[in-house]
Structure 1
Amino acid sequence: MTTPIPNPWEASFPPSLRDYRIDLASLPANAAALAADAADRYQANTAFGFVLATGASTARTFKEVDALSDAFARYLVHDMGLQMGQVIAVQLPTSLHYPIAVFGAWKAGLIVTNVNPMYTERELRLQLEDSGAQILLASDMFLQVAQPVAAALGIRLMTASMWDFFAQPVAAAIREKLTASGDFTPTMAFTRMVDALRTGDELAKVGRRDHPVALYQYTGGTTGRSKGAVITHQNILATLKMTRDYLDAYDGPRSGETILTVLPLYHIFAFTVNFLLFFSLGARNVLVPNPRPISNLRSAFEQFEIEWMSGVDTLYVGLLNEPWFKTHPPKLRYAFSGGTALRPSTAEAWQKLVCPMLEGYGMTETTCIVSCNPPNQKPRLGSVGLPMPGCEVRIVDADGCSLALGERGELLVRGPQVIAGYLHAQQDSASAVLDGWLHTGDIAQFEPDGYVRIVDRKKDLILVSGFNVYPNEVEDVLSAHPGILEAAVIGVPDAVTGEAVRAHVVLRDTALTAEEIERYCRTQLTAYKVPKQLVFSAQLPKSPVGKVLRAQLRTAG
């Protein structure tokens, strides 16, 4: 048996990253320090631009974001009387309100819980009750759900409007268009965020309030009920330090560059990378509140010189299918991909038309990141790159023994970005994090030079007559067919083989038959991997960030 090599990725690091050590004691106690630091460094440079599908846009500088978040903190503390360690729920689309609210809440010593604006009343109530939120900051576009839940739970309500930061007459025009179908004014007592900012600007300064916990970040819930990952300020700041040092060792982002933020800021990927990391670097974020339909992004690409963006496979596929995008592709330096597996066909098409694609890997429980392809002109397609410096990774068998290079097993992670546990879920915490090692539930392997390749989710593994079938591999083959737009593969019970492979397929060419797909698969896959069942679907169920929800397909039967 081959002996496992410890930290095989370090040989692929540039000299500046080898034997990397992070000094946690040197990090600030509160991530809100990023706002003041960026204001001092970057002053009147634009921190956030906000652009609508119509082309209307507005912006705020680093200095303005710091000042506005100060005002928000003053209002939360002096007017609302919130105490350090209490919880504010933020249920907003991507907008200028978001960074101001988060930095202000942290300055006030509050814990933020990010909430999906598309939640139903049941889902919203579960998160508000579990997190113990005292105040809900919600977009007035979603009050039909937010208001009855806040009223039932006795939670104070604050509202935000899409037109808040626009100057007249643009603000009035946006308001008129959005409220044409009805009034957004709540029927219960509430405060508008813009009024809170004006009031807070006149109040006394808030003294330093450093609570150790920054976020109750709820997991996607694709494997069951969402759990609140307890993410500390140290988790966040360590993640930013490690990631920044890693990117800086290559061709990383620079002050003054622009990143397009399409993914929702309530998701840990965009929250950490787009919002916090690029903000701390002095880069400009171009915020788009809703990327659906994909044509909503056209005005952002036309108005701004964008060097970076982040997204998921389905977003990149959507852009590649847009005639306006293909005719005038933007001149990006790099694009990040995460949140769900990136198909090789997508990466190859994107790199041929636009720029190198940097696929990475992470989880809510790792404060977004574990590994990423380094920014250079030849990222390794099919790999999620190298582990972050200061992060430990093991690949183990069922007995917890480390495996040799190339062997497949469960991916374990340890480092300062890993959470200590979940809120109100000691049993889940104990099973997920053992002796500091997070058991990810993902099947992975090390390549000879330490790059990490994610094979599949442990729970998604399909066992056909004792042979392992990894859905990602079958999905990659199906999606490479020119007549197939996308595919999702699951295992279903089978009386003969134990499990069988079922493929849910969305066609690009509606004339394509099941027999033709099967013949194609047999030229690309070993017999036991070929889908035994084929289901044609109009669309696949997806999470708000575009991740295909295999669990829903299994439940549907």
Structure 2
Amino acid sequence: MAWLDDLWALHARRDDLAVLDASGPVTGRQLTRRAMYSADVLTEMDVPAGGPVPALLTTNASALALLLGGAAADRPIAPLGPRLTSGELARLVTACDSRVIVTEAQWYDTAAAAAELCGAVVHPMPEPRYSSAGLPARRGAAAFHLHTSGTTGEPKRVPFPESVLEPRVAVSAEVIGLGPEHRYATGSPLHHIAGLGNVLTALSVGAPVIPTTRFSTSWWRGLRAAGATHCLLVPTMVEMLLAEGALDAVPLDTLIYGAAPMSPETLRRVLDTVPGVNLVSIFGQTEGSPIATLSADDHRRAAAGRPDLLHTVGRAAPGLALRIDSPDETGTGEVYAAAPHLSVHADDGWLHTGDVGALDDEGYLTLSGRRNDMVVRGGENVYPLEVENALVEHPGVLAAGVVGVPDQRLGETLAAFIVPSATAVGHGELAAFVRARLAGFKVPAHWYDVDELPLNSAGKLLRPSLLDAHLRQS
């Protein structure tokens, strides 16, 4: 059986909870019947079989029904970020070769503006109606499409066939310890792999999904009554909950995070506040995830005297092979990965991640940054992520962003943007702190204190925004 057949077999006759969103509870039987109604609606649109259907969606039961319906009808949904500009959306719709855009009501004006630019037609989200039709036995090559975040260029569309989804949900469920007895909560957007991938994992194993369209402390506090056992957050959300004294309001089994590392100080505060929680971090990308993970045991080791583990993204996910291509004298090179649950492999059988890193003797992967992020400072190569990892070790630093900036003498140098903790720390002290851990040419020349770092909706740092901020102030 394929992934969608397995999901239908689990839910189609099931009256247990599948999704609990702001509109109320939805059972597995209701979700699959709503999905088949969505499939009928999509089939009636001017969309060729197999063609991606761009959609502006948030994470809720109707959106999940649409996505499952698209997979069933061979009209694979391609969720797009609703906060993109109309011009950005129009380019993505054109690249999808689509004549339609499906949208939730709150994004209709944005969708209409994009449609006018690219000659598409806007269709509203299908109403929550039911169909008794069965799941088609023959389906298309892709169940859905996602776009990369585009932090270094135009987003690329990645298809997800059922042959990838079946092993992917098995690996993800193993990594985060998710089963039918659990409930999974998330504030991650549907158009990112961290959002959609883990939601599909929960649905596939029979764990109810508790999503929100906007993360807030009040939503978090409500997860206790909703019975949430697992939750995906980014470190900035964890910091917010710690600052508001709310992290222990929900007795989670497992707290999952990604997109950015957790500092040793934050880890200490989390475990002091909720000592029984299992912390799991996931490193991956749209083309393939999970690639590497830090397990709950890894986090306990980090708290017990191995804070260096937090500088890594963990060890290879189950069933995945990792290697470093063309390593230099320090063992650093581009990270290659291969596994059945990855969506993209090059002709040589490996996913060329574009990330630069090294593997240690225990198999932990330490990233230096993206291949395109490399800064050449006076002839020396520097990866900003390495400097950021050093900075967040300082107790006075909650978060750090580092970027290469123009320099008349050296060609490029480094600018550091610091989100300070409650304890004030001078830039000279931070420079000395970095120098004690890294070579002198890796110490930033420019320093800025900021209230927050520019992040995309997946919680990833937007380095171009840091460069713009430096240029405005220099």
Normalised TM-score (structure 2): 0.87
Gaps of 5+ in 1: 1-26, 52-56, 161-192, 422-432
Q: Report the counterpart of residue 389 of structure 1 in structure 2.
A: 318
Letter in 2 for 1:487: A
Letter in 1 for 2:27: T
Q: Report the counterpart of residue 332 of structure 1 in structure 2.
A: 252
Gaps of 5+ in 2: 303-308
Q: CA deviation at 1:315?
A: 2.0
Q: Structure 1 residue aligned with 2:62, among 91, 97, 106?
A: 97
Q: Report the counterpart of residue 360 of structure 2 in structure 1.
A: 447
SS at match of 2:143: strand
User: 2 CA distance for matches of 1:379 and 1:209?
Assistant: 48
Contact 1:84 1:209 in 2 (8 A): no
Q: Structure 2 residue aligned with 1:224, among 144, 147, 153?
A: 153
Q: Report the counterpart of residue 464 of structure 2 in structure 1.
A: 551
CA gap of 1:448–1:535, structure 2 versus 1, over 3 A, is same
SS at match of 1:32: helix
User: 2 CA distance for matches of 1:348 and 1:509?
Assistant: 16
Contact 1:488 1:505 in 2 (8 A): yes
Q: Report the counterpart of residue 285 of structure 2 in structure 1.
A: 363
Q: CA deviation at 1:508?
A: 4.2
User: 1 CA distance for matches of 2:195 and 2:12?
Assistant: 24
Letter in 2 for 1:347: L
Contact 2:67 2:144 in 1 (8 A): no
Contact 2:145 2:160 in 1 (8 A): yes
Q: Report the counterpart of residue 17 of structure 2 in structure 1.
A: 46
Q: Report the counterpart of residue 201 of structure 1 in structure 2.
A: 131
Q: CA deviation at 1:154?
A: 4.2
Letter in 2 for 1:125: A
Contact 2:283 2:293 in 1 (8 A): yes
Contact 1:212 1:234 in 2 (8 A): no
Q: Report the counterpart of residue 306 of structure 2 in structure 1.
A: none
Letter in 2 for 1:384: V
Q: How does 1:483-494 map to 2 (within 5 A)?
A: 483-494=396-407
Q: CA deviation at 1:83?
A: 4.1
Contact 2:337 2:352 in 1 (8 A): yes
Bigger relative contact order (CA 8 A; separation at least 6): 1
Letter in 2 for 1:315: M
CA gap of 1:499–1:76, structure 2 versus 1, over 3 A, is closer
User: 1 CA distance for matches of 2:155 and 2:200?
Assistant: 24
SS at match of 1:505: strand
CA gap of 1:358–1:145, structure 2 versus 1, over 3 A, is same
Q: CA deviation at 1:267?
A: 0.7
Contact 2:52 2:78 in 1 (8 A): yes
Q: How does 1:418-429 map to 2 (within 5 A)?
A: 418-420=342-344
CA gap of 1:444–1:348, structure 2 versus 1, over 3 A, is farther
Q: CA deviation at 1:62?
A: 1.3
User: 1 CA distance for matches of 2:414 and 2:119?
Assistant: 48
Q: Report the counterpart of residue 231 of structure 2 in structure 1.
A: 309
Q: Report the counterpart of residue 372 of structure 1 in structure 2.
A: 293
Cα deviation digits, residues 429-450 of structure 1 (max 9, x gap):
xxxx341222212122222232
Q: Report the counterpart of residue 190 of structure 1 in structure 2.
A: none
User: 1 CA distance for matches of 2:138 and 2:296?
Assistant: 37
User: 1 CA distance for matches of 2:119 and 2:148?
Assistant: 25
User: 2 CA distance for matches of 1:515 and 1:374?
Assistant: 35
User: 1 CA distance for matches of 2:57 and 2:134?
Assistant: 26
Larger CA Rg, structure 1 vs 2: 1
Letter in 1 for 2:131: D
Is 1:270 the equivalent of 2:195?
yes
Q: CA deviation at 1:263?
A: 0.7
User: 2 CA distance for matches of 1:96 and 1:262?
Assistant: 14
Aligned residues: 460
User: 2 CA distance for matches of 1:358 and 1:510?
Assistant: 28
Of all paired residues, the percent bearing the same amino acid is 25
Q: Report the counterpart of residue 82 of structure 2 in structure 1.
A: 117
Cα deviation digits, residues 259-290 of structure 1 (max 9, x gap):
111111211112112x1111111111111111
Contact 1:219 1:228 in 2 (8 A): yes
Q: Could you list the structure 1 runs, at least 4 aligned residues long, displaced by more than 6 angstroms after superposition.
A: none
Q: Structure 1 residue aligned with 2:98, among 133, 143, 146?
A: 133
Contact 1:90 1:136 in 2 (8 A): yes
Is 1:37 the equivalent of 2:9?
yes
Q: Report the counterpart of residue 37 of structure 2 in structure 1.
A: 71
Normalised TM-score (structure 1): 0.75
Q: Report the counterpart of residue 348 of structure 2 in structure 1.
A: 435
Q: CA deviation at 1:520?
A: 4.7
Q: Report the counterpart of residue 164 of structure 1 in structure 2.
A: none
